[in-house]
Structure 1
């Protein structure tokens, strides 16, 4: 049929995940399945952050990298505000959102595992060390400051 195997797998996963859960699984099976995947998620997150921590020992932090990171932290938060705020504002006539949805979604963003993995995948170019250091600084800000402050709504 000349179809893409990865796309076929994604479609099959969506069909099984949505319809299969509802039609072919008991409540107890769904609970066990959800618990299993939550455990796998936690284990993989722990492995990811251990690897990120080990890689951190190899990152070179220069004063200019730290300054760039401090300047870019508000830029990243502002970019997330725009990326969340524009679609939510445009969808408000069609869908009801919880109060302060834009603020919560802006502040409660991802904590950076994918960002660090992408930065570490950059080939050896002169800007690589700076990009990795700035990414680490933004992720540390996200984990420590944003993560700890998220419970104060």
Structure 2
């Protein structure tokens, strides 16, 4: 029997409906309870304005955290697992940039680079999102995003406001 190797993955969680922090806490617990996923580190909570193609501020602000996890799951299996957690916590996929109880994005898994219909790694917009970069920078200041470079440098140039939640 071959043992699966554990890889480090970066997950970005955000919520802007309901009790945002409680929902994120529940998502972290649910992820950590899944066979093949271990939560290794969790950032502080950060807040950012909602964004919509028609303009900012149409919805409540988001609370965001980044997790570093160890996983033995293959990328699509990890995607299925995070989608199941979202569904269990009431995620509705009605519109692309709509408000949500929880959103869990896979930012990167090890150094895997892939582009498929269901999953693009690393996440195609992570390099331009302060609400991903700042919490990740808090956890791993020397980290690099495959194909884009050091997150510390990316954070200097990315657009958007983000602030640590008190």
Q: Indicate the structure with greater strand content.
A: 2
TM-score, length of structure 1 as denominator length: 0.22
TM-score of the superposed pair, with normalisation by structure 2: 0.21
Larger radius of gyration: 1
Q: Which structure: greater helix fraction? A: 1
